[in-house]
């Protein structure tokens, strides 16, 4: 008897000698009966993924517009009269927070996680579809609350995306009355919503794989998303606690983070708290957060490269261990963001060392990508271009990261444009390139049609080159000493007048690059109707999501029977095989003769 | 049923992996389908959630300890603050001791409820869950009493008559957060007890929200949460009241 309820273990053993049956029965899927339960309050991970994706992109557009406004101010101070210092800080804060949390985290985990985990694992859906649905709606509420910040009295908070107290809640900081409250509440909602989704992703990967899909046969995309989700479940609590405590400081007048302080000649009603405590809580979340957006990108890029170079990924096992190792290490490096906050030199030494150690698994991944490309049959498809763009950009940002990881180098560079250049390269541009590549890659599966290639190539070159033109000069500005988070520079002795020219150049490029993204949005909308029919497996890829009986995959994904996996995800150009790829659920040409090797040895 | 059309011969051969206990442990982990053999999804989810929640409570406690260690003003003495006057003498920590006792007892009734659940004795299981909920409610009630007493004596989140203002802040925040956990637990216990007593898990009635059928295992999953909340209390008790 199969237990079809909550997927408990099936009672009764397997026939002796035969292959094991499904350990877990079919999930009790919810079947939508109306348009509303099918497309709005849907419990299907694929629909939830699209909802997450569209919401994240919409709020990302807001952040893009904010970056234009900031760039306008930096290049042409005073040209847009409504941007005063307060507004500038509000724009910076909202831009940073939206980009990192509400766009990248939500899109990688809520978007790609929801879409790819069940499909790549041969599952019918996430394990807890109802919770999954709640996750999206709470995320949406968090986004709406965040946007509400623009409309409350005093506007959104201008404390910087790091929200450091004491200034975040003191008078004279923009958005001190409402904005900061709305921001903290929105973050708490986001975390609650994310946790609901995250439990789904983790449990589905651990307990919901199909027959034959061992952990070491999972595509690296899944490894990346899985590890990132585990990290998020352990890192977000610190932000949650920090947000609760700061809300209390702001609303109840507690002094968790507030020292005794004099504001405009008056003693503020606070005392005895520690602002550094907040910094620790924030960065205990903040640094893992960098890898929460980087690890899914690592995973996806590995799969894109392998597929479009028609070659197996180099060093799969090492890639897996590198992902897991980076995930673990990134919990012991957080204070490299606090070198200038003042700390015991011993701690500085410790955190610099751990930071540099992370470079080892990271470099290993880069080498493996390059070795995968080596002598590959490289197809310069749009997803491949974006994947290559990612590798270059990531190396770049990674190298400046090595600079900043050292205390003595970081102290003079901290809070300059050099830091802005560094983190935009490594966690701004690089993951965004992967997101684009991934959308070009999986759009055919999601909609059944290809995105337009010409538009895609224009989009790639404009974005890739543009990003370098924008952020490369910022390294130089930073070395000159141009500070970060400055509304305007005014007259200074150390910054030459030519820096202003450079700023104009950066701004114009930023406007153009931003406008190019409209091309991408147009492509998304246009190809939905007019794109070339994609068929089930346009890239001739091996992973399970391309082997669904229908494209786009139907409710329940697999028709009558879930697939059975015989091999790892990277059997491209296998000698002797009839095609240059063997799907994971393909028993293989010569199963009869060498059954054991195919199942276990080849992987 | 759903198994119907699988051809066993087409599936990959079972991987026989000899070796020591550790090797087998690793092999189980890495094998196909499930990493934790025989563990249902619901139970796995609860464990992962509790791990995450551990980090929440951990951060709260670490933050409180930082505040307590770095304050320049003396920290109020918990044995005096949390004393009750009984028959003219001050008995230190008496209320907390009773609260702790009640909560730990509730873990006992919870464990029995799980036991009878698996025996499919729904009367006993349901009643024991109601008893657990009652203990939980008592705990929250006593906490409310304690809060009232302290507030009467002038303790506020931002100040208190005896020393560092962080005392009141941490106290209300941490016990409040824990109390919320207990309250949520009580609510779920009541809902679940109703389902058990009504026999939902025998008749296969579908859940109101999830529209899935439940199983008696739900009691055990509930129990995991309840024991966790109980365990957290022990740490709060040690670090806040006994320190
Ligand atoms: C169109 C591309 C982008 C442009 C032109 C841009 C521009 C800017 C500018 C001008 C600043 C303020 C620098 C300062 O004065 O200190 C900034 C800050 C920031 N940006 Fe971007 N950005 C872009 C994309 C992104 C992306 C994709 C991310 C995602 C990680 C991101 C994350 C941040 C963060 C975290 C800050 C710091 C905010 C703070 O200091 O509180 N940006 N960006
Ligand atoms: Cu960091």
Measured between beta carbons, the chain B residues lying within 8 angstroms of A199 are: 45, 48-49
CA of B213: which chain A residue's CA is closest?
Answer: A5
CA distance A561 to chain B (A): 8
Asked if A487 contacts A426 with a C-beta cutoff of 8 angstroms, the reply is: no
Pick from A21, A203, A241: CB nearest B63: A241
CA distance B25 to chain A (A): 14
Is the CB of residue A462 below 6 angstroms from any atom belonging to ligand 1? Answer: no
Given a cut of 80, whether residue B7 has pLDDT beyond it is no
Pocket test for ligand 1, best of A101, A428, A478 (most atoms within 8 A of CB): A428
pLDDT at site B81:
87
Going by the DSSP 8-state scheme, the letter that residue B89 receives in this structure is: E
What percentage of chain B carries pLDDT values higher than 90? 63
Domain boundaries, chain B: 41-241
Q: How far is the CA of A404 from the centre of ligand 2 (A)?
A: 10
Average pLDDT over all residues of chain A = 91
Q: What is the DSSP string of B126-173?
A: HHHHHHHHHHHHHHHHHHHHHHHHHHHTT-BTTB-TTS-THHHHHHHH
Top pLDDT among A5 and B171 is at B171
Pick from B39, B59, B66: CB nearest A237: B59
Highest CATH level, class, for A45-257+270-547:
mainly alpha
Measured between beta carbons, the chain B residues lying within 8 angstroms of A240 are: 56, 59
Give the separation between CA B147 and CA B125, rounded to whole angstroms: 33
Q: Assign residue B156 a region: left if phi > 0, alpha if psi is -120 to 50, beta otherwise?
A: beta
What lies within 8 Å, CB to CB, of A416 at 6+ separation is A477, A478, A479, A481, A482, A483, A484
Q: What is the pLDDT of residues B204-234, one digit of tens each?
A: 888 878 888 888 899 999 999 999 999 999 9
Q: What is the pLDDT of residues B91-118, one digit of tens each?
A: 888 899 999 999 999 999 999 999 999 9
Give the separation between CA A318 and CA B43, rounded to whole angstroms: 31
Is the CB of residue A483 below 6 angstroms from any atom belonging to ligand 1? Answer: no
- CB within 8 Å: B44 and A238: no
Taking alpha carbons only, the member of A556, A396, A415, A477 closest to residue A92 is: A415
- CB within 8 Å: A127 and B210: no
Quick one: CA dihedral B231, B237, B240, B243, positive or negative?
negative
Pocket test for ligand 1, best of A64, A92, A174, A429 (most atoms within 8 A of CB): A92
Least confident of A29-43, A533-547, B18-32, B173-187: B18-32
Quick one: CA dihedral A396, A397, A398, A403, positive or negative?
positive
Reported for A525-530, long-range contacts at CB under 8 A and 24+ positions apart, including other chains, are A526/A452, A527/A443, A527/A447, A527/A449, A527/A450, A527/A451, A527/A452, A528/A447, A528/A449, A530/A449
Of the ligands numbered here, which is closest to the C-alpha atom of A427? 1
Is the CB of residue A510 below 6 angstroms from any atom belonging to ligand 1? Answer: yes
**Whose Cα sits closest to atom 19 in ligand 1?**
A96
Confidence of residue B70 (pLDDT cuts 50, 70, 90): confident
Asked if B170 contacts B67 with a C-beta cutoff of 8 angstroms, the reply is: yes
B41-241 placed in CATH 3.30.930.10: no
Q: What is the pLDDT of residues A52-70, one digit of tens each?
A: 999 999 999 999 999 999 9
Question: Nearest 5°: CA angle at A549, between A544 and A553?
Answer: 75
Q: How far is the CA of A439 from the centre of ligand 2 (A)?
A: 27
Least confident of A119-133, A259-273, A505-519: A259-273
- CB within 8 Å: B214 and A5: yes
Q: What is the pLDDT of residues A364-387, one digit of tens each?
A: 999 999 999 999 999 999 999 999
For A485, the token pair is: 């988070």
Is the CB of residue A99 below 6 angstroms from any atom belonging to ligand 1? Answer: yes
Give the separation between CA A381 and CA B67, rounded to whole angstroms: 56
Least confident of A85-99, A570-584, A586-600, B98-112: A586-600
Question: Nearest 5°: CA angle at A56, between A50 and A58?
Answer: 100
Asked if A451 contacts A438 with a C-beta cutoff of 8 angstroms, the reply is: no
Give the separation between CA A99 and CA B176, rounded to whole angstroms: 33
Quick one: CA dihedral B134, B137, B139, B141, positive or negative?
negative
Asked if A296 contacts A379 with a C-beta cutoff of 8 angstroms, the reply is: no
Is the CB of residue A337 below 6 angstroms from any atom belonging to ligand 1? Answer: no
Strands, E, within A156-301: which ranges? 262-263, 266-267
Q: Count of residues for chain B? A: 243
For B55, the token pair is: 């980090």
- CB within 8 Å: B34 and A19: no
pLDDT at site A17:
34
Q: What is the pLDDT of residues A191-243, one digit of tens each?
A: 999 999 999 999 999 999 999 999 999 999 999 999 999 999 999 999 999 99
Least confident of A298-312, A580-594, B34-48: A580-594
Highest mean pLDDT among A438-447, A496-505, B13-22: A438-447
Give the separation between CA A195 and CA A190, rounded to whole angstroms: 8
Given a cut of 60, whether residue B6 has pLDDT beyond it is no
Measured between beta carbons, the chain A residues lying within 8 angstroms of B72 are: 272
Of the ligands numbered here, which is closest to the C-alpha atom of A405? 2
- CB within 8 Å: B48 and A199: yes
The pTM of the full predicted model, rounded to 2 decimals, is 0.92
What percentage of chain A carries pLDDT values higher than 70? 94
Pick from B11, B37, B72: CB nearest A272: B72
ipTM of the complex: 0.91
Unique residue bearing structure tokens 């015989």: A566
pLDDT at site A578:
85
Give the separation between CA A244 and CA A224, rounded to whole angstroms: 30
- CB within 8 Å: B30 and A214: yes
pLDDT at site B72:
85
Give the separation between CA A457 and CA A473, rounded to whole angstroms: 24
Determine how many CB atoms are found less than 10 A away from the CB of residue A578: 8
Measured between beta carbons, the chain B residues lying within 8 angstroms of A217 are: 32
Q: How far is the CA of A561 from the centre of ligand 1 (A)?
A: 47
Choosing among A34, A121, A199, A275, which should be mutated to test the B contact, i.e. which has the most B CBs within 10 A? A199
Is the CB of residue A435 below 6 angstroms from any atom belonging to ligand 1? Answer: no
Is the CB of residue A470 below 6 angstroms from any atom belonging to ligand 1? Answer: yes
Is the CB of residue A98 below 6 angstroms from any atom belonging to ligand 1? Answer: no
Of the ligands numbered here, which is closest to the C-alpha atom of A294? 1
CA of B206: which chain A residue's CA is closest?
Answer: A5
Given a cut of 80, whether residue A23 has pLDDT beyond it is no
Measured between beta carbons, the chain A residues lying within 8 angstroms of B203 are: none
Give the separation between CA B63 and CA A274, rounded to whole angstroms: 10
pLDDT at site A36:
87
Q: What is the 3-state secondary structure (H, E, C) of A456-477?
A: HHHHHHHHHHHHHHHHHHHHHH
Q: ω into residue A304 within 30 of 0, thus cis?
A: no
Q: What is the pLDDT of residues A95-132, one digit of tens each?
A: 999 999 999 999 999 999 999 999 999 999 999 999 99
Unique residue bearing structure tokens 């307990």: A207
Q: How far is the CA of A428 from the centre of ligand 1 (A)?
A: 8
Given a cut of 80, whether residue A406 has pLDDT beyond it is yes
Give the separation between CA A336 and CA B117, rounded to whole angstroms: 51
Q: How far is CA A452 from CA A62, A383, A473, A523, B40, in A?
A: 25, 12, 32, 6, 44
Q: How far is CA B78 from CA A335, A485, B81, B83, in A?
A: 33, 45, 5, 8
Confidence of residue B18 (pLDDT cuts 50, 70, 90): low
Given a cut of 80, whether residue B10 has pLDDT beyond it is no
Beta bridge partners of B51: none
Unique residue bearing structure tokens 């494209």: A551
Choosing among B41, B58, B213, which should be mutated to test the A contact, i.e. which has the most A CBs within 10 A? B41
pLDDT at site B60:
97
Pick from A252, A277, A600: CB nearest B15: A600
pLDDT at site A20:
58
Taking alpha carbons only, the member of A412, A428, A520 closest to residue A467 is: A428
User: Helical H runs in A309-429?
Assistant: 316-329, 345-373, 382-405, 407-413, 417-423
Question: Nearest 5°: CA angle at B207, between B205 and B210?
Answer: 140
Confidence of residue B24 (pLDDT cuts 50, 70, 90): confident
Q: How far is the CA of A366 from the centre of ligand 2 (A)?
A: 19
Determine how many CB atoms are found less than 10 A away from the CB of residue A24: 24
pLDDT at site B109:
96
Give the separation between CA A231 and CA B56, rounded to whole angstroms: 14
Give the separation between CA A361 and CA A351, rounded to whole angstroms: 17
Top pLDDT among A542 and B3 is at A542
How many Cα neighbours within 13 Å face the side chain of B130?
11
Unique residue bearing structure tokens 């391309």: A546
Q: How far is the CA of A353 from the centre of ligand 2 (A)?
A: 13
A-facing residues of B in 32-91 (CB < 8 A) are 32-42, 44-45, 48-49, 51-53, 55-56, 58-60, 63, 66-67, 70-73
Q: ω into residue A552 within 30 of 0, thus cis?
A: yes
Say whether A572 sits in a helix, a strand or coil: strand
B91 sits in which H/E element: strand B89-92
What lies within 8 Å, CB to CB, of A401 at 6+ separation is A355, A359, A422, A426
For A233, the token pair is: 């479940």
pLDDT at site A599:
41
Pocket test for ligand 1, best of A64, A65, A99 (most atoms within 8 A of CB): A99
Is the CB of residue A420 below 6 angstroms from any atom belonging to ligand 1? Answer: yes
Give Cα A14 to chain centroid, integer Å: 41
Given a cut of 50, whether residue B26 has pLDDT beyond it is yes
Give the separation between CA B223 and CA B128, rounded to whole angstroms: 12
Domain boundaries, chain A: 45-257+270-547
Asked if B44 contacts A222 with a C-beta cutoff of 8 angstroms, the reply is: no
Going by the DSSP 8-state scheme, the letter that residue B38 receives in this structure is: T
What lies within 8 Å, CB to CB, of B163 at 6+ separation is B73, B74, B75, B76
Give φ, ψ of B213 to 5 degrees. -85, 140
- CB within 8 Å: A233 and B11: no
Strands, E, within A247-311: which ranges? 262-263, 266-267
């Amino acid at each position: 008897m199969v237990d079809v309820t909550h997927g408990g273990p099936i009672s009764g053993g397997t026939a002796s000698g035969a292959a094991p049956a499904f350990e877990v029965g079919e999930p009790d899927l919810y079947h939508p009966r109306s348009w509303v339960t099918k497309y709005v309050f849907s419990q299907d991970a694929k629909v939830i993924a699209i909802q997450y994706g569209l919401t994240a992109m919409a709020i990302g557009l807001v952040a893009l517009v904010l970056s234009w406004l900031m760039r306008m101010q930096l290049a042409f101070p005073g040209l847009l009269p409504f941007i005063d210092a307060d507004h500038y800080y509000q724009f910076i804060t909202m831009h940073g927070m939206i980009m990192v949390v509400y766009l990248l985290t939500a899109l990688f985990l809520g978007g790609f996680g929801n879409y790819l985990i069940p499909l790549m694992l041969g599952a019918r859906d996430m394990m807890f579809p109802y919770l999954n649905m709640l996750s999206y709606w709470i995320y949406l509420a968090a986004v709406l609350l965040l946007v509400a910040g623009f409309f409350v009295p005093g506007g959104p908070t201008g404390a910087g995306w790091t929200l450091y107290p004491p200034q975040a809640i003191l008078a004279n900081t923009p958005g001190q009355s409402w904005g900061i409250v709305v921001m903290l509440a929105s973050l708490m909602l986001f975390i609650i919503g994310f946790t609901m989704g995250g439990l789904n992703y983790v449990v589905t990967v651990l307990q919901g794989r199909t027959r034959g899909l061992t952990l070491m046969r999972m595509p690296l995309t899944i490894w990346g998303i899985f590890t990132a989700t585990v990290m998020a479940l352990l890192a977000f609590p610190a932000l949650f606690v920090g947000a609760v405590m700061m809300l209390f400081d702001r609303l109840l007048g507690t002094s968790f983070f507030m020292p005794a302080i004099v504001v405009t000649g008056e003693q503020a009603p606070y005392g005895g708290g520690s602002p550094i405590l907040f910094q620790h809580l924030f960065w205990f979340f903040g640094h893992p957060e960098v890898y929460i957006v980087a690890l899914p990108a690592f995973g996806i890029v590995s799969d894109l490269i392998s597929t479009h170079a028609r070659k197996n990924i180099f060093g799969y096992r090492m890639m897996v261990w590198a992902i897991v190792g980076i995930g673990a290490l990134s919990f012991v490096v957080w204070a490299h963001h606090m070198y200038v906050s003042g700390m015991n030199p011993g701690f500085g030494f410790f955190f610099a060392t751990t930071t540099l150690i992370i470079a080892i698994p990271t470099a290993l991944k880069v080498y493996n990508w390059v070795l995968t490309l080596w002598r590959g049959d490289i197809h310069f498809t749009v997803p491949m271009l974006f994947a290559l763009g990612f590798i270059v950009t990531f190396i770049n940002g990674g190298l400046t990261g090595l600079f900043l990881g050292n205390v003595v180098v970081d102290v003079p560079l901290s809070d300059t444009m050099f830091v802005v250049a560094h983190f935009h390269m490594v966690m701004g541009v690089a993951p965004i390139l992967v997101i684009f590549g991934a959308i070009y890659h999986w759009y055919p599966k999601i909609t059944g049609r290809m995105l337009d290639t010409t538009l895609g190539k224009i989009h790639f070159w404009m974005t890739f080159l543009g990003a370098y033109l924008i952020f490369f000069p910022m390294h130089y500005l930073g070395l000159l000493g141009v500070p970060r988070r400055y509304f305007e520079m005014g007259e200074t002795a150390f910054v030459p007048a030519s820096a202003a020219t450079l700023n104009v150049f950066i701004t114009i490029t930023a406007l153009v690059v931003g406008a190019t993204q409209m091309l991408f949005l147009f492509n998304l909308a246009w190809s939905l109707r007019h794109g070339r029919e994609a068929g089930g497996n346009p890239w001739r890829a091996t992973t399970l999501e391309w082997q669904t009986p229908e494209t786009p995959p139907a409710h329940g994904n697999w028709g009558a029977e879930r697939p059975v996996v015989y091999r790892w995800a990277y059997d491209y150009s296998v000698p002797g095989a009839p095609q240059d790829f063997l799907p994971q659920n393909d028993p293989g040409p010569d199963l009869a003769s060498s059954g054991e090797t195919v199942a276990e040895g080849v992987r | 049923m759903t198994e119907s059309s699988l051809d066993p011969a087409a599936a990959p051969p079972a991987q026989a992996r000899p070796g020591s206990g550790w090797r087998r442990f690793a092999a189980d982990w890495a094998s196909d389908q499930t990493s934790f053999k025989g563990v249902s999804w619901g139970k796995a989810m609860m464990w992962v959630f509790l791990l995450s929640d551990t980090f929440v409570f951990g951060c709260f406690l670490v933050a409180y300890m930082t505040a307590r260690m770095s304050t320049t003003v003396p920290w109020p003495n918990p044995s005096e603050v949390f004393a009750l006057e009984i028959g003219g003498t001050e008995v230190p920590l008496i209320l907390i001791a009773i609260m702790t006792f009640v909560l730990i007892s509730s873990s006992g009734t919870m464990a029995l409820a799980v036991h009878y659940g698996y025996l499919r004795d729904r009367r006993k299981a349901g009643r024991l869950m109601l008893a657990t909920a009652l203990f939980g409610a008592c705990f929250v009630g006593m906490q409310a009493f304690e809060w009232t007493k302290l507030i009467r004596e002038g303790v506020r989140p931002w100040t208190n008559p005896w020393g560092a203002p962080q005392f009141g802040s941490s106290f209300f925040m941490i016990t409040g957060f824990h109390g919320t956990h207990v309250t949520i637990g009580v609510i779920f216990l009541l809902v679940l007890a109703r389902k058990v007593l009504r026999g939902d898990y025998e008749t296969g009635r579908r859940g109101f929200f999830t529209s899935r059928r439940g199983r008696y295992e739900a009691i055990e999953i509930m129990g995991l949460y309840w024991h966790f909340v109980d365990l957290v209390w022990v740490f709060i008790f040690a670090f806040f009241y006994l320190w």
